[in-house]
Structure 1
């Protein structure tokens, strides 16, 4: 019976790994080209094609296409959009007939592909000292087991946003208790003082991190039953009780966009939508948690380029030239202007086009306390287990300690079965 249970757990773990994959990158775009249709890079008359898989919006790819045009005709860069990028990479690995040369995606899947042994260290192509030009936390996010596997391009964090029609600048809460008081006063008649996706781990992580807890640490250990994590869940619950029961992405954003919620914590991708609706949206610092004296510390997602081994070995010169285009300050500046991306290169913030952008600078401020999303393979399991814990506590109203202990045990079993 024990062997059957272990097998069942192991199968369940790997099933989740195949289907899981919550990342900031997965919130954008869709593509339908199949793996078999991939344009493959091959040398013809001295020319090289570099294929890059991505999931980015048009504003980002347009900037990249313009920059890559300078490499023509010797190097032709194909940007291929894929909605199922993470699963497609697991399927094709380093197959030269099907795999891309590089992929542009969030950093949190690095560990999965590094363990598959399909990635080339960036420092095999770009000298390590040249990475000193990047923000430390972006390089931290790009590093797995001491090796840098991603060239960071830009990063994203959640932001505290408010509708100036209801919440005036002088009313913006500096602390979570001030936020709670505002919610108590303004949650009535179909209106909410504040809403968020409270039972989604990516959003709840900010509260957990602010208490000193964690979903998964750098050693791959879950922390769902830590005293700090349990304290965060218990404290956060009183805010949840003043929010709508339905907290899916579309529901929360619609409430804010239509003026039924005065404030929210959401990604920068929401800002163009609410501005188009005519909202005078304000952006503020994350409230400081009164219990700890630390601000809500959301996850930070770093978007960048990873190189597959086959390309590094067979097209190294062309790959380096592509990477060096992406290392230019001009690329970070253009992306900030085109899509509100916060550049990973420190020097970009000396330009007015960047330091004058309210959204970009708000993300830079939030990033000072943000925690890079774990890039370990174990995190694929943790998204699912943590989601179950949040549902038990926030939606079902179950005991925090009992729910956390149950979730921690489940996480440990699933992680063990991955070995």
Structure 2
């Protein structure tokens, strides 16, 4: 509902959610890691080409790195009393953000984060058994199952000591501002699209975890849905405020430069924060 709302007003009805989780090849590593360092140690002990896989690419990938960033206590924005994101409270450049930037540099130097790994390569390597761990979303589970990997889906391990919170993407139906019949449109969404029966049917067609709580409880009979849902329960909605556009513009590029060692992590993170602040204030 927060994802469908802006400045205290709700504009639509959510019907599905989507978030990252940690895929684990249980034939290579038997237990879920307790921390990022624990995961890397287990991955190295497994003796595979990669101890851990996550897509980064040469322009960065803040969406996939965000759970680790939040584990350093550095969300993008703070929230107000209603739980909505506050664009005046930019948190990304706090002390936790600086520590996260230093961590990115360290992991890049160690080879645990690689800008040469895009989504397709990361998936291919995991499916081929070249790593015991793959941070990704439910969209890659089918390929893993087809490869007959002994799959377990785990919580995302913390890198900074606090809880690793992924973004939760929310799909929904919105009422058009140009609708000629607001009452009928609202009735259709709230009393049809929002119902357990319809959201269950949408889930059966699209295989996305339903937003309706009763429909989701039924869908949890699918172990994959249940596991991703458990991780998503600790996630945060993808920011839907206009100011987020300015964040995306500078965020990934800064992360990529830090990971590859092209920039001092603290200075580059502070520059990124300054660039975001200037873009937001325009």
CA distance in 1, matches of 2:181, 2:92: 44
Secondary structure at 1:309 match in 2? coil
1:203 to 36, 42, 64: 64
CA distance in 2, matches of 1:185, 1:239: 17
CA shift digits 1:310-352 (9 cap, x unpaired): 11x336425523552212212232344444322212222443x
Secondary structure at 2:248 match in 1? helix
CA distance in 2, matches of 1:310, 1:200: 35
Contact 1:187/1:242 (CA < 8 Å) preserved in 2? no
Secondary structure at 1:342 match in 2? coil
Contact 1:152/1:302 (CA < 8 Å) preserved in 2? yes
User: TM-score by structure 2 length?
Assistant: 0.87
Matched, 1:148 2:10: yes
CA distance in 2, matches of 1:368, 1:322: 24
Count of residues in Structure 1 that have an aligned counterpart in Structure 2: 270
Map of 1:183 onto structure 2? 43
RMSD: 2.2
Map of 1:102 onto structure 2? none
Contact 2:115/2:256 (CA < 8 Å) preserved in 1? no
User: TM-score by structure 1 length?
Assistant: 0.60
Moved more, 142-151 or 331-340: 331-340
Once the 2 structures are TM-superposed, how far is the Cα of residue 161 of structure 1 from its aligned partner?
A: 0.3
Map of 1:110 onto structure 2? none
Contact 1:336/1:360 (CA < 8 Å) preserved in 2? no
Moved more, 372-381 or 195-204: 195-204
Secondary structure at 1:151 match in 2? strand
Larger Rg: 1
Structure 2: segments with no counterpart, 5+ residues? 79-84
CA distance in 1, matches of 2:194, 2:19: 21
Contact 2:165/2:234 (CA < 8 Å) preserved in 1? yes
Moved more, 177-186 or 299-308: 177-186
CA distance in 2, matches of 1:398, 1:183: 28
Query: Against the structure 1 CA distance between its residues 335 and 242, is the aligned structure 2 distance closer, same or farther, given a 3 Å change threshold?
Result: farther
Map of 1:212 onto structure 2? 73
Query: Against the structure 1 CA distance between its residues 214 and 357, is the aligned structure 2 distance closer, same or farther, given a 3 Å change threshold?
Result: same
Secondary structure at 1:301 match in 2? strand
Map of 1:161 onto structure 2? 23
Query: Against the structure 1 CA distance between its residues 183 and 235, is the aligned structure 2 distance closer, same or farther, given a 3 Å change threshold?
Result: farther
Query: Against the structure 1 CA distance between its residues 192 and 308, is the aligned structure 2 distance closer, same or farther, given a 3 Å change threshold?
Result: same
Map of 1:276 onto structure 2? 146
CA shift digits 1:372-419 (9 cap, x unpaired): 1110111112112011210121123522110011111111122222xx
Map of 1:192 onto structure 2? 50
Matched, 1:257 2:137: no
Contact 1:215/1:386 (CA < 8 Å) preserved in 2? no
Alignment of 1:287-306 (within 5 A): 287-289=157-159, 291-292=160-161, 294-306=162-174
Contact 2:15/2:171 (CA < 8 Å) preserved in 1? yes
CA distance in 1, matches of 2:136, 2:225: 14
Specify which structure has the higher proportion of helix. Answer: 1
Structure 1: segments with no counterpart, 5+ residues? 1-138
2:33 to 151, 165, 173: 173
Query: Against the structure 1 CA distance between its residues 197 and 350, is the aligned structure 2 distance closer, same or farther, given a 3 Å change threshold?
Result: closer
CA distance in 1, matches of 2:172, 2:182: 19
Structure ranking higher on relative contact order (CA contacts 8 Å, 6+ apart): 2
Map of 1:50 onto structure 2? none
Once the 2 structures are TM-superposed, how far is the Cα of residue 248 of structure 1 from its aligned partner?
A: 1.5
CA distance in 2, matches of 1:329, 1:369: 23
Map of 1:232 onto structure 2? 100
